[in-house]
Structure 1
Amino acid sequence: MSEQDDNKSDTDSQLPGKIKDSARQIWLAGLGAYTKAEEDAGRFFDRLVQEGEQLESKTRGVVEKQIRTVEDRVGEVRDRATGTWDRLEHMFDQRVSGALRRLGIHRREEIEALEHRIDVLERELSRLRGAGTARDEEE
């Protein structure tokens, strides 16, 4: 038993050193794992940002294309609506003009043309009267 006691005492004296070495190795492994995780997390984050930028570019293109398509359709509808509105307005004008003619009411252009003719005739009449008065005075 004495050899066992000697071996035991050698093992007992080495045990704290072995525990200390094991604890240090565990600590260093933990630091290594932390550093590796930090590096991987940084690379992973950068990769996520890069993929996000790519997705944003693709999405922006699709969205812009959809917006252009909608704008084109709105333009087409606006053009059709404007054309339809112009036709309706023209038809309305024609119907109102026809109704006014049937009632004997003349259009503004016709009345203005008649007023112009009256002005011309009045000037001509005044001129003729002036010429006639001058003849009467001579006689």
Structure 2
Amino acid sequence: MSDHDDKNPENDPQLADKIKDSARQIWLAGLGAYTKAEEDAGKFFERLVQEGEQLETRTRGVVEKQIKTVEGRVGEVKEKATGTWDKLEHMFDQRVSGALRRLGIHRREEIEAMERRIEALESELARLRGDSPASDEEE
């Protein structure tokens, strides 16, 4: 029985030590791998942040340039539209004034000027007749 017990791996102290050493080495290798992965992940994260900042800087410059270009174009279009609208409004005024003149309808300024002339003539006529403003109201 003792021959059989000596060959049993469970009773071999060297084999048990080898297994313990292998288990410890596996454990240490796992810890090392975990630590390395953690360090690499931190470095990788930092590198991603740096690349993101660089991309943001480049993108911001391009976007700002595009915004300025668009703002400039909007200003140009606005100026052209305003100028075109002013020309259109002026042409419309001229056409309406011409049509009213052809129909014998005078502009307000012309009518107001005629009213002032009529009032002046009436005043002069009344003065020449010797009429007083009060006698005009009685008639």
Please state if 1:112 is matched with 2:121: no
**Distance apart, 1:116 and its partner CA:** 2.2
Structure 2 letter corresponding to 1:119: E
- Alignment length, in residue pairs? 126
**Distance apart, 1:32 and its partner CA:** 0.9
Give me the TM-score of the superposition, normalised by structure 2.
0.79
The superposition leaves residues 64-123 of structure 1 with CA deviations (integer Å, 9 ceiling, x where unpaired) of 111111111111111111111111111111111011111100001111111222333344
Percent identity (aligned): 81
What RMSD over aligned residues (CA atoms) do the two structures have, in Å? 2.4
Structure 2: where are the runs of 5+ without partners? 1-5, 133-139
Q: Structure 1 residues 108-117 or 38-47, which shifts more?
A: 108-117
Match of 2:61 in 1: 61
Match of 1:32 in 2: 32
Higher RCO (CA 8 Å, separation ≥ 6 residues):
1
Match of 1:137 in 2: none
Structure 1: where are the runs of 5+ without partners? 1-5, 135-139
Give me the TM-score of the superposition, normalised by structure 1.
0.79
Q: Structure 1 residues 117-126 or 18-27, which shifts more?
A: 117-126
The superposition leaves residues 29-66 of structure 1 with CA deviations (integer Å, 9 ceiling, x where unpaired) of 11011011101101100110111011011111101111
Match of 1:121 in 2: 121
Match of 1:88 in 2: 88
Match of 1:3 in 2: none
Query: In 2, distance between residues paired with 1:28 and 1:54?
Result: 39
Match of 1:103 in 2: 103
Structure 2 letter corresponding to 1:90: H
Query: In 2, distance between residues paired with 1:25 and 1:133?
Result: 135
Q: Structure 1 residues 94-103 or 111-120, which shifts more?
A: 111-120
When residues 115 and 133 of structure 1 are mapped into structure 2, their CA distance, relative to the original with a 3 A threshold, is closer
Match of 1:77 in 2: 77
Please state if 1:21 is matched with 2:21: yes
Query: In 1, distance between residues paired with 2:131 and 2:41?
Result: 116
